[in-house]
Amino acid sequence: MQMSVESRQFGAPAAGDEPILALSGITKTFPGVKALSDVSLDLYPGQVTALIGENGAGKSTIVKTLTGIYQPDAGEIRVSGEPVHFATAQDAAAAGITAIHQETVLFDELTVAENIFIGHAPRSRFGLIDWARMRQQARDILTRIDADLEPDMLLRDLGIASKHLVAIARALSAEARVVVMDEPTAALSHKEIEELYDLVERLKSEGRAILFISHKFDEIFRIADRYTVFRDGTHVGSGLMSEVNEADLVRMMVGRDVDQIFPQRQKSPGDEVLQVVGYSHPTEFADIGFTLRRGEILGFYGLVGAGRSEVMQSLVGITRPSKGVVKIDGTIKVIRSPADAVSNGIVYVPEDRGKQGAVIGLPIYQNVTLPSLSQTSRNGFLRLAEEFDLARHYTQRLDLRAAALDQDVGNLSGGNQQKVVIAKWLATKPKVIILDEPTKGIDIGSKAAVHAFMAELAAEGLSVIMVSSEIPEIMGMSDRVIVMREGLIAAELEGDALTPETLVRHAAGIGEKQP
C-alpha cells in the first residue's frame, strides 16, 4: 500500500466542489429482478470515484443509466446542477459523458482517426468529412496521451492495450466531462496499466470527472479519490478513500467480513485418473505430458497465449491433437468431440462465458440439462419434471440467484451465469472438471465461493484442472502446478518449489541463475 500514499499527494480532492454529474433515487426494474433500488452516485470534477460492488450489485446498470442506454424507472440525473433526461446514448454523449467499456466498443475495420471521431468528425464547408483536419486532430490527441499510434492504422491491427488508448483518445476528442472506465485494466499488462494510471492523472488534472469500476483493490487505493459501494442494487456507502481501508470496503461490499484466506484442504490425492502423454498440436502446443489424481487440484499457470486453453480444448475434443495419448483410469481413450469427452467424464468450463459457456436465449434449466439430456429423458423424449429437478439440485448447490428456473440465462448477472455453466457440467457427474479462468472478472465474494466450492468438489473425489493467470489463486488452490510457456511445459512445481518467484520465472522464461 506504499503506492496509495504517493498517489494521494497529487490527487487531493478539493472539498466543497459541486458534482458535475449527480444521480439520485435511481430505481430500475427488469422482469423479475430489481436491478437498482433508490441508488445515488455523485461524480466530482478532477476526481476519480471508484464504483465498487460484487457482480450483480448493479454497477453495469448504473453505467448504462448514466450513459443513456437504460432509462431509470424513477430518480433524477443532474448535470452541473441542472436536471436532465437522457432518452438515448447520443443525449448522454452530448452532455459530455463517455464510457470506456470492458470490451471496448470500437470498429475493427475503421482507422484509428475514424474511430476517434466517429459521430463528431470535423466537417468541411460542404458538410463532408474534413479528412486532413481529422487526421491532424487525431494526431494531436494521440500525442497528448503519448500513444505511439498513427491515425491511419486500422483498428483490427492493434492490440487490446492500444485499443484502450484509442477509446481514451475518443473520450478526449468528444470533450468528455465525465469519463466512465469499466474495468479498464482487466486485459492489460503491468506496464500498460502504469501508462493507464498516468493517463487517468492527466484526465484528472484537466478537470474531468472519472468513474472507475474495478475489482482490484490495490488499483482502487492507488488511483481513486472517492468511493461508492453498491450491494444487491442498493447504495451502501460513499465517501473519501482517505477515510477507509480495504477491510471497510470489503465489509460494505459483501455485508460481512470475507475470509480472504483460501480454503484449507486435506491433500490426499488418490489413484491416477487422467494421464496425458506426448500430446501435440500442429501449431499451438507440443509434447504435453502430465498426470492427474483423484481429488487433486492441478493448476496450469502461464502468460496469456502460452497455449493452456488450447491444450484443455483439445483434451475435450474441440480441436484435434496431431499426436499423443490420453488415458482415463488407465485405458487409452480417443476423444474426437465434446460429446465423447462428456461420456468419458471430462468436462470443460470455458473462459469465454458468453460465447462458449452459456446458451443465452435458453432458460436456466435448459442450459443446465443440455449435456445431461440422456439422464433426464426416456428414449430421446424430454421429461420436464426431471429436468427441473436436476437443474434445481445443482443450481441451488451453487447458490444461484434467479427469479425462476425458466428465466433466460441472459437476464442473469455474470457471476450467476458462471454458476449456471458450472452447474451444467457438474450435472454430468464428471471425473475430471477443467476450469478455465474460473474467477476472471468476478468479485471477491463470488471468488471465495467458487474457491470453496472447488475445494469441496476435490474433497468429494473430483479431479480438478484449474487454468489461471492469477498467482494468489494458483498458489492458494493448487496441489501441484504446471507452468506453460510458448506451447511447452516449462516446469512442474510442487511443495517448496512452488513460489510466486518460480512461477513467474518459468512462465516468462527467465533463466535459473538470474535472481
Contacts to another protein by CB under 8 A: 31-34, 232, 316, 318, 337-339, 341-342, 348, 350, 355-362, 365-366, 370-371, 373-374, 377, 380-382, 388, 392, 395-396, 399-407, 424
**27 or 80: whose CB is closer to another protein?**
27
How far is residue 107's CA from residue 155's CA, in Å, rounded to a whole number? 7
Give, in degrees to the nearest 5, the angle at Cα 204 between 201 and 205: 90
**407 or 469: whose CB is closer to another protein?**
407
Cβ at position 365, least distance to another protein in Å: 8
Cβ at position 34, least distance to another protein in Å: 5
**33 or 471: whose CB is closer to another protein?**
33
**98 or 366: whose CB is closer to another protein?**
366
Cβ at position 385, least distance to another protein in Å: 9
* CB-CB neighbours of 61 under 10 Å: 23
Which helix (H) or strand (E) segment holds residue 398: the answer is none
Per DSSP, the residues of 31-44 read: TTEEEEEEEEEEE-
Give, in degrees to the nearest 5, the angle at Cα 455 between 451 and 459: 170
**74 or 403: whose CB is closer to another protein?**
403
Cβ at position 431, least distance to another protein in Å: 15
State whether residue 213 is helix, strand or coil: strand
For the chain, how far is it from start to end, CA to CA, in angstroms?
24
**3 or 403: whose CB is closer to another protein?**
403
Site of grid cell 483434451: 315
Q: Is 427 left (phi over 0), alpha (psi -120 to 50) or beta?
A: alpha
Report the b/e string of 112-151 with b at 16+ CB within 10 A: bbbbbbeeebbeeeeeeebeeebbebbbebbeebebebeb
**Given strand 297-302, what is the order of strands in its sheet?**
346-349, 432-436, 463-467, 297-302, 480-485, 488-494
Lookup: cell for 503: 512461477
**22 or 342: whose CB is closer to another protein?**
342
How far is residue 84's CA from residue 226's CA, in Å, rounded to a whole number? 24
Cβ at position 392, least distance to another protein in Å: 6
**133 or 333: whose CB is closer to another protein?**
333
Distances (CA, A) of 456 to 21, 123, 262, 398: 46, 62, 12, 11
Rg (CA), the chain: 25
**377 or 469: whose CB is closer to another protein?**
377
Lookup: cell for 285: 502446443
Long-range contacts of 197-200, Cβ-Cβ distance < 8 Å, separation of 24 or more: 197/222, 197/223, 198/146, 199/145, 199/168, 200/48
How far is residue 501's CA from residue 505's CA, in Å, rounded to a whole number? 6
Write the single-letter amino acid at 333: K
Cβ at position 302, least distance to another protein in Å: 22
**334 or 404: whose CB is closer to another protein?**
404
